[in-house]
Amino acid sequence: MTTGILKASALAGYRNHPVYLRGSQHVPPRTEAVADGMNALFDLLEAEKEASVRAVLGHWLVGYVHPYPDGNGRIARFLMNAMLASGGYPWTVVRVDDRACYLAGLERASGDMDVRSFAEFLAERVQWSTGKAS
């Protein structure tokens, strides 16, 4: 805010302008659909009993809807960890070294509607966090 990139009012509530993700074929939903997308996300999270599934869905769908003007990735990773913690899983870090694989999994999930590689990537990161990675 002090640099003038964002106005303080832009940080309250969901975004009210279109966004485009650099390097991605995915274009997040129009601003008019953001609230409905977030309501659907909350409904899915509430209905899903398995913490690991909530973690994958929550992370991916926050990025898919891209509801905030800034910080969507950080919010998605925080939500992922909150969902994992609710199931007794450890705090899980997506390392900078894994950025290409991480983004490729998200791209496949959002562009091709195939979340498997993203789920496998996160499962590997959880295993690494537990010290059980092969």
> For residue 110, what is the domain's CATH number?
1.10.3290.10
* Position 110 in a domain: yes
Residue recorded with tokens 């996160």: 122
Total residue length of the chain: 134
pLDDT per position as a tens digit, 67-90:
999 899 999 999 999 999 999 999
Within-domain flag for 44:
yes
pLDDT tens-digit map of 94-117: 999 999 999 999 999 999 999 999
Distance CA 3, CA 7 (A): 9
Asked if residue 77 lies in contact with residue 94, where contact means CB atoms within 8 angstroms, the answer is yes
Catalytically active residues are: 66
In a domain, 63, yes or no: yes
Of 1-5, 27-31, 130-134, the least confident:
1-5
Determine the Cα–Cα distance for residues 132 and 59; give it in Å rounded to an integer: 23
Domain count for the chain: 1
**What are phi and psi for residue 111, nearest 5 degrees?**
-85, -40
pLDDT, tens digit, 9 for 90 and up, residues 9-32:
666 789 999 999 998 999 999 999
Asked if 69 and 17 touch (Cβ cutoff 8 Å), the reply is yes
Question: Domain residues for 40?
Answer: 28-130
